[in-house]
Structures are given as structure tokens and as C-alpha cells.
Amino acid sequence: MTARDCYRILKVSPRSSWEEIKSSFRARVWECHPDRHPGDPKAAARFRRLMEAYDYLRRRRHPRRPEAGAAYRATSRMADEALEEFFGISARSPVSRSAGPDFRYDLRIPFLAALKGVEKTIEIPRIHPCGACDRSGRQPGPRELCPDCLGKGRRPLGPGLLSKTGPTCRRCQGLGVVPPPDCPVCQGLGYLVRHHLVRVTVPPGTEDGTRLRFEGQGGDGVFDGPPGNLEVVISVEPHEFFARRGADLYCRLPVSFAQAALGGAVMVPTLDGERPLHLPRGTQSGHIFRFVGAGLPRGPHRPPGDQIIEVVVTTPENLSPAQRRLLEEFVRLEGQSHSPAAHE
């Protein structure tokens, strides 16, 4: 969540004073408070996002610093008192804790790797608090007195009215000191994005669309909440020869016209290498053969699937002169075998 997201969620401008932000937060968080919408997950989600946005801006505008410890504690105490007074909760109460976001990773693997199983290492981007600035987004160091309000936190109304104070100073947001520059490590974001390696074991027989769940490998939680989960969605690439239907493997085996007519042994690719298949004489295109148990495992105490082979008889397109003569002789002899004289 960025500062821009927080301002959008609270429906305020980045130039709004801290008092305006608190006022908008109180009005909007009351609308979706869980006590007013029991059992409504959408209201609870909006409530958590408002809490997260408010806490983010509170830490960004009032970062914890030794030089301004009293101001920070006073501001934090005021925020907690406001929550307790108006809503009966505290920023440190269990209600404000929420789990981190769940991540999804699409993993594409080859067809045979899905059938036999494979291990993959994937990189997951994770957001970590910046240790250089303690999540504040500001450089450590002393703060300068605000030149606009002279450290009072409120702008004077004008000449002759210096004894009275006006609205909250926009430059220092009421702190009386000018915040230091942005942290050079995180560029003022307060967090760093690092890649986390996750070892994914794809079990044998994994189908396309399988979802593997990894507890606690998602985004970091909010307010010390538990981390989210990681869901890896498997996408299996198609194979040029095999197709899968459950535990059975299907394939189409091209054979020549001569092989189909004469019969004999042909070699068929399987998961464990080539295996001979005996074609009877006169095998027709579309004939089905089956290798029992040559498919995929079904699980404990169940037989594996089969490999189902469909024969496809191919017709030659470019014939050599010798092949043409042989086929013409075959047609002549076939015609004689069907003539009435051949049966006398």
C-alpha cells in the first residue's frame, strides 16, 4: 500500500492537514464498523483497509524519532483515544490485526514433467520494512524548527494577533519541526521489495489447473498479523504426441499403407521408452489398441491407467517410379481377384 492509496482510501488530499485526515477517518470508519455490520465480510475488509491506511499515514507523518518522542507519543495517544472514544477499539487491539495478502504464482511446466513430477524454484516478491529508516521513509537525524510556525505547530493569524493561533501548519503538520529528507535506501517508501525463493514440488500426475498452497509464504501481515499464503497454479504445456484424459494416455500412431496391409510389429513411444505393437494384417485407420497399465498412477491400491493408441493409416503423396509400378501392379492384381473369371 502506497501513500497515494492511503489518501484515496481516506478520500483526502495529500495536502490535507492531519486534523482533516483524522476527521475523514472517523467518519468513514464508523460507516463500516464491524459492530454495525455483523457478519458482513465486505464491511470488515473496508474497515481493515481504512485502519491500515490511517496507520500508514500516521507513521509517515509522525514517525517515531528520539528528538520528537514526546510529540510522537502525544499524537499516538490522541489517535488511540479517538478510536477508543468513538469506536470502542484501540489501534493496538486485536481487531486492527489482519493477515497479509495472499499471492498467486502461475507456473508453466512441460507435459512430461507434470506426468513424472518435478521440483522448481520460483521467486516471489516480498515487501519488507526498511531497517534504515524504521519504516518511516525519512532519514535519521535531528529535525529543524519549522520556519512557518516557528515550532508552534499552528500558523499565526497575522500581525497584531500573534497571541492567537490559526489552523494547523501545513508544512510541519502540527509537529513544529520540519521532517528530514526521504530515506535514500527505500526512496521514502518505508519498505523494500525483495525476492524470496520458494521450492515447489510438483507431484507426479499433476493435471493442468492444479493449485498448490503454501502456508505463510504470502505477504507480510498488518499490525503484527500473520503472513498470507502463496498459491501456485500449474499450467501444463501440451505434448506433440500424448494427450491426457484422467489417468489414461491417448496417442495417434501413423503407419504406412503397406504396414497396415501386411501387418507386423511397429514401435510405439511410451512414458518408459518405445514398446512394440503387433499390427494384424489389414489394420484399418482408426483401429484402437491398448497398453494396459502404461498410463498414469491413480493412487494407492488402484491400478494405473492405460495407454490408448489409435492407428492412422497414411497415404503416400510423392511416389518413386518403383513405388508407382508396384502400386499399379497391386491394383491390377486386385482387379483380377474381383473379376468373375477369377472365381470360376
pLDDT tens for the chain, 344 residues long, are 677 888 888 888 888 888 788 878 877 766 776 556 666 667 767 877 887 788 788 777 765 443 333 433 443 444 444 444 444 444 444 445 677 778 889 999 999 999 889 999 999 887 777 888 877 788 877 778 888 887 777 776 666 544 455 777 877 777 777 777 888 888 887 778 888 899 999 998 889 999 999 998 887 776 667 888 999 999 999 999 999 998 899 999 999 888 898 899 999 999 889 999 999 999 999 999 999 999 988 877 889 899 999 999 988 777 788 877 877 777 777 666 655 554 45
> Could you give the angle at which helices 3-10 and 18-31 cross, rounded to 10 degrees?
60
CATH number listed for the domain at residues 243-343: 2.60.260.20
Domain boundaries along the sequence of the chain = 3-96, 103-143+179-236, 243-343
- Amino acid sitting at position 153: G
- DSSP code of residue 100: P
CATH fold for domain 103-143+179-236: HSP40/DNAj peptide-binding domain (2.60.260)
Joined grid coordinates for residue 325: 509400378
Burial of 272 (0-12, 13-18, 19+ CB in 10 A): exposed
CA distance 77 to 91: 10
Domain 3-96: top CATH class: mainly alpha
Joined grid coordinates for residue 294: 502404461
pTM more than 0.75: no
CA distance 13 to 238: 51
CA distance 183 to 295: 59
- Asked if domains 103-143+179-236 and 243-343 share a fold, the reply is yes
Pairing of strands 243-245, 118-129: unpaired
DSSP labels, 106-152: EEEE-HHHHHH-EEEEEEEEEEEE-TTTTTS-B-SS--EEPTTTTTS
